[in-house]
Amino acid sequence: MTSVPCLTPAIILSRPQLGENIGAAARAMANFGLTDLRLVAPRDGWPNARAFSMAAGALWIVEGARVFERLEDALSDLELVYATTARTRGVAKEVLTPGAAAANLRRSADAGVRGGLLFGNERSGLDNEEVALAQAIITIPTSPDFASLNLGQAVLLNAYEWFRSADTTPEVRIDHGALARPATNAELQHLFAHLEDELLKAGFLYPPDRVGQMKLNLRAMLQRAQLSDQEVRTLRGIIVALTRGKLRRAQPSVEDADEL
């Protein structure tokens, strides 16, 4: 482990078979801020060219991977280990979702506890003796029709949940860019007044007993768009252009119509 500012969980792959899956795991770790990869008796030896190729740039992960002969040794310094397995085994251990496990690992890491996520091999997963070395089990919820996840996918989903457990990305945002900001209420009111004035003059807001509801509907539509100040200016420019265009179109020439 390099000089990581906080304790991030180790990813332990027990008896992995395909270099491609080791590389995919490394890549997923890099995507989501994990660095400590441990390999227990990789079938095709180590280093593995296919792992490096599949890591697709996450080289510091595969280059920093440590290889162990025995799972016991790979886990020895860890204080909270979760075993990822799809099958229940007739042993009464806690079974967590990846999200709940990530929340526990995050809380523990913040308290100085060294954690790890243990994954079995591609063919048979973790055996009972391997699972017995972990405090609890993670099972990824899947459709009952097709529950098989490959090793890289299982690492990816758990790494994603680890990252998300402390991620402050807003659930929804609008990026108006450096040169724009959300329109103020006054800017919107001026836009409404400008548009409604022209629509009255144009005879669009008619008959009089429906004008009130028509204005409310227009305002609701424009509010939903969450306009920037720049967009309000653009719309007011459009109103001006269209009203002038209408005046021009009253002239014999019709070429201007195509410019819209």
Q: Which two tokens stand for residue 77?
A: 């310094």
Yes or no: say if 81 and 135 are a contact pair by the CB < 8 Å rule: yes
Name the minimum Å distance from CB 198 to its own copies.
25
The residue behind tokens 């040169």 is 179
Query: By CB under 8 A, is residue 57 in contact with its own copies?
Result: yes
Binding window for its own copies (CB under 8 A); candidates: 9-17, 22-30, 121-129, 202-210: 22-30
The residue behind tokens 């790890």 is 116
| CB neighbour list of residue 65: distance below 8 Å, 6 or more residues apart | 22, 26, 37, 38, 39, 46
Binding window for its own copies (CB under 8 A); candidates: 10-18, 39-47, 54-62, 118-126: 54-62
Query: By CB under 8 A, is residue 52 in contact with its own copies?
Result: no
Name the minimum Å distance from CB 250 to its own copies.
34
Residue (130 or 231) nearer to its own copies, CB: 231
Residue (113 or 180) nearer to its own copies, CB: 180
DSSP 8-state assignment for residue 112: T
Residue (86 or 211) nearer to its own copies, CB: 86
Amino acid occupying residue 128: N
Distance CA 104, CA 165 (A): 9
Name the minimum Å distance from CB 106 to its own copies.
14
Residue choice 69, 129, 175, 255 for contact with its own copies (CB under 8 A): 175
Distance CA 89, CA 86 (A): 9
Query: By CB under 8 A, is residue 131 in contact with its own copies?
Result: no
Yes or no: say if 177 and 191 are a contact pair by the CB < 8 Å rule: no
Backbone φ, ψ for residue 159 (5° rounding): -65, -40
Residue choice 69, 77, 129, 145 for contact with its own copies (CB under 8 A): 145
Residue (22 or 74) nearer to its own copies, CB: 22
Please tell me the count of residues contacting its own copies according to CB under 8 A: 48
Distance CA 39, CA 37 (A): 7
Query: By CB under 8 A, is residue 188 in contact with its own copies?
Result: no
Distance CA 219, CA 212 (A): 11
Distance CA 105, CA 126 (A): 20
Instruction: Cis check for the bond before 207: say yes or no (omega within 30 of 0).
Output: yes
Q: Which of residues 87-106 bind its own copies (CB under 8 A)?
A: 88, 90, 92-97, 99-100
Residue choice 14, 16, 32, 71 for contact with its own copies (CB under 8 A): 32
Which residues bind to its own copies, rule: CB under 8 A?
A: 27-28, 30-33, 56-58, 88, 90, 92-97, 99-100, 141-143, 145-150, 153, 156-157, 160, 163-164, 167, 169-177, 180, 226, 228, 231
